């Protein structure tokens, strides 16, 4: 039974720091400052009223809680197993406050308290007892390293201030401890009062539905401001706003329905809700837009910013209008393209729309050019006798238009040439490829190319957390090692998450499967994520996606690629001497050039690196052959 009632629009958080005279460090004060900074950087920072008391004494506890009457209380300090919380007394002597006494003071003074965090060691039992009267209480079992505490606490509050539930905030804090390779993350425990729901979000949208509707209507008519977008996204992220499309019986027009709801964050519903939201908030632009990006799209803000800049910054008269994105197979090039194709800033820059095509290995160029022509109102291009004729007709249609042209998955420089030739002066052309040799054939201007990297460790772990949150919560350290062994490649992470999800449903844990994935070729023959479905309606295996790169190699180069899988160290990096030995050749450079050109080796300093997924693919080819 909670002491408090409903929360006001602002959550009052009282941060108390107990730095005793018998301790030389100022960890408690540093900790509450770090918590404050973390909240200030979060999306819903304005919803917190933070009060800090950095020099807590014994006599202060009750009066401070009475004075501030907080919704949330955090006490940071030092504790010893049998002595309780170490504080200063009025005479600057050391005083020890037993947890049971501290609990009694809080329960009598805190009329609104809904969450208490005892941020000192040996406080778990006190937290458990306190949860009989307060809904959510965190404590620490035994001792915890200072660095682990300083990692967990700001992350926990940052998650709350980002619209996460209390349980999600705990899981996020633990994951950050694991990510930093620290220990005892699970020493911090959450005790939940009877009838309380740990999936509750402390941040709830108070924006009125008519205000949201006004924002939405502005956005639908391309008149919204960045603030409108921000308000709606915050409401959606915290689960306060769900948008559905309905057909009215009167005029068959779309209506926008706003309902109070929760529980859409980090669940299977999230992708569906976001897709519906995007369809409403971001109507399909003129032309042919790429498919909506996958619901899990994290860690790409820097890439989006860079590509936006390349596409929208005013070019000089002699500067190319081509931007080329390249990277490993499965690194997320198509997802990035999809995000760009549905980006509001891009939509404002290219008001006449977007034309998109995915070519793959053997495209019918006249058919693809004709699709663009049809989107621009012409049916004539399909009758063109040659690719050059089709290109000329498309160029005439694009001559005065300001459009973004996207050509995804290019395998031959010649395949991109018609689209580059048709792009008008006011158009921007964006091309993606996995092949560095195609990049070199398309442009010599390195400032117009972007090599999309794998995810950072933090965001790679976040992908698993979103897709299989329970698995990560119960196997944090193993999942972190898995992320590291898969070398943070989005394709590998998504496939691994699917395997882990299915294994977890069987109820016998996932430790053995994680170990198998880390050691072997477990992923290669598995199906790729659903968003990789081909034009034939079939979802390919990971192996078939990678075969597209290796099937085009000449026999000698393919054999040398397979040998690398058999002899690859961890991580798989080779110098020229090692390659010479593995391949038994006098001069390995011609083969290296071909493998680099096909994106199967990457130069790193004086060595050549092979991604883990490609090593596994090479090993599987060795077995097949």
pLDDT for the residue numbered 116: 93
Q: Which of 115-119, 218-222, 444-448, 586-590 has the lowest mean pLDDT?
A: 218-222
- Per residue in 534-589, pLDDT tens? 666 667 788 888 888 898 899 999 999 998 988 777 778 888 998 998 899 999 99
Q: Give the pLDDT confidence score for residue 229 in this predicted structure.
A: 52
> What values do phi and psi take at 294, rounded to 5?
-60, 155
Mean pLDDT over 197-202 rounds to 83
pLDDT at position 560, please? 93
Categorize the per-residue pLDDT at 325 as very low, low, confident or very high, splitting at 50, 70 and 90. very high
Residue 292: predicted pLDDT: 63
**Is pLDDT above 70 for 409?**
yes
CA–CA dist 125, 302 (Å, integer): 44
Q: Quick one: which of 13, 14, 30, 129 has its CA closest to 77?
A: 30
Lowest-confidence pick of 22-26, 58-62, 400-404: 22-26
The residue ranges of every structural domain in the chain are 11-192, 209-283, 301-451, 457-519, 531-624
pTM over 0.75: no
Instruction: Name the class of domain 531-624.
Output: mainly alpha
Helix and strand totals (H; E) in the chain: 26, 20
Q: What is the pLDDT of residues 260-285, one digit of tens each?
A: 332 222 223 334 444 444 544 444 55
State the pLDDT at residue 170.
92
The DSSP H or E segment spanning 127 is helix 124-130
Residue with the bigger pLDDT between 599 and 507: it is 599
The listed CATH number (3.10.20.30, 3.40.50.1460, 3.30.465.10, 3.40.50.720) that belongs to domain 11-192:
3.40.50.1460
More confident residue, 335 or 22: 335
Q: Is the pLDDT of residue 232 over 60?
A: no
Nearest CA among 312, 274, 265 for reference residue 292: 274
Q: Where are the alpha helices (DSSP H) in 180-324?
A: 209-220, 226-237, 269-281, 301-312
Predicted pLDDT at 419:
96
pLDDT at 412: 94
Residues 196, 131: Cα–Cα separation, whole Å: 10
| pLDDT the model gives residue 227 | 54
Q: Do the first three CATH levels of 301-451 and 531-624 match, i.e. the same topology? A: no
Q: So what's the pLDDT on residue 568?
A: 75
Structure tokens at 546: 């990678």
To the nearest 10 degrees (0 to 180), the angle between helices 476-485 and 166-179 is 50
Q: Which CATH number applies to 301-451?
A: 3.40.50.300
């Amino acid at each position: 039974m909670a002491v408090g009632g409903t929360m006001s629009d602002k959550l009052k958080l009282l941060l108390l720091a107990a730095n005793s005279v018998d301790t030389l460090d100022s960890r408690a004060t540093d900790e509450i400052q770090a918590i404050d900074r973390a909240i200030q950087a979060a999306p819903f920072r304005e919803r917190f009223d933070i009060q800090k008391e950095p020099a807590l004494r014994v006599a202060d506890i009750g009066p401070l809680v009475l004075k501030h009457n907080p919704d949330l209380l955090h006490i940071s300090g030092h504790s010893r197993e049998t002595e309780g919380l170490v504080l200063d007394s009025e005479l600057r002597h050391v005083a020890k406050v037993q947890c049971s006494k501290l609990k009694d003071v809080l329960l009598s003074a805190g009329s609104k308290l809904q969450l208490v965090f005892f941020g000192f060691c040996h406080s778990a039992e006190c937290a458990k007892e306190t949860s009989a009267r307060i809904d959510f209480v965190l404590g620490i079992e035994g001792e915890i390293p200072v660095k682990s505490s300083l990692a967990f606490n700001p992350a926990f509050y940052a998650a709350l201030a980002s619209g996460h539930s209390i349980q999600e905030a705990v899981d996020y804090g633990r994951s950050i401890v694991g990510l930093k390779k620290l220990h005892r993350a699970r020493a911090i425990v959450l005790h939940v009062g009877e009838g309380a729901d740990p999936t509750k979000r402390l941040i709830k949208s108070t924006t009125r539905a008519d205000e949201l509707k006004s924002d939405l209507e502005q956005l639908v008519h391309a008149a919204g401001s960045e603030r409108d977008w921000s308000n709606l996204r915050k409401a959606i992220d915290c689960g306060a706003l769900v948008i559905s499309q309905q057909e009215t019986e009167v005029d068959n027009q779309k209506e926008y329905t706003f309902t109070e709801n929760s529980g859409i964050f980090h669940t299977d519903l999230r992708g569906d809700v976001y897709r519906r939201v995007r369809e409403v908030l971001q109507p399909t632009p003129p032309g042919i837009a790429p498919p909506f990006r996958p619901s899990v799209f994290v860690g790409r803000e820097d890439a989006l910013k860079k590509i936006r800049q390349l596409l929208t910054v005013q070019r000089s008269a002699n500067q190319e209008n081509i931007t080329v994105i390249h990277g490993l197979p499965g690194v997320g090039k198509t997802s990035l393209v999809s995000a760009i194709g549905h980006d509001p800033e891009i939509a404002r820059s290219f008001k006449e729309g977007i034309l998109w095509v995915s070519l793959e290995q053997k495209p019918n160029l006249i058919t693809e050019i004709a699709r663009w022509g049809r989107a621009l109102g012409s049916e004539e291009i399909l009758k063109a006798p040659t690719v050059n004729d089709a290109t000329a007709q498309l160029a005439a249609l694009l001559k005065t238009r300001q459009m973004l042209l996207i050509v995804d998955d290019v395998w031959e420089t010649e395949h991109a040439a018609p689209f580059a030739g048709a792009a008008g002066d006011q158009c921007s052309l964006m091309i993606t490829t996995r092949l560095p040799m195609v990049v070199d054939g398309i442009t010599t201007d390195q400032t117009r190319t972007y090599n999309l990297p794998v995810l950072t460790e933090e965001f790679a772990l976040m992908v698993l957390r979103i897709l299989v949150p329970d698995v990560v919560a119960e196997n944090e350290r193993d999942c972190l090692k898995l992320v590291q062994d898969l070398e943070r490649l989005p394709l590998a992470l998504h496939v691994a998450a699917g395997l882990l999800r299915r294994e977890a449903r069987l109820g016998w844990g996932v430790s053995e499967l994680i170990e198998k994935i880390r050691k072997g070729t477990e992923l290669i023959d598995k199906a790729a994520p659903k968003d990789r479905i081909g034009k034939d309606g079939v979802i390919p295996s990971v192996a078939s996606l990678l075969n597209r790169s290796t099937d085009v190699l000449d026999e000698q180069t393919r054999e040398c690629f397979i040998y690398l899988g058999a002899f690859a160290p961890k991580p798989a990096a080779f110098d020229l001497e090692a390659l010479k030995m593995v391949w038994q050749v006098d001069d390995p450079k011609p083969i290296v050039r071909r493998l680099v050109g096909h994106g199967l080796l990457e130069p790193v300093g004086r060595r050549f690196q092979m991604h883990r997924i490609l090593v596994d693919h090479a090993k599987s080819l060795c077995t097949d052959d």
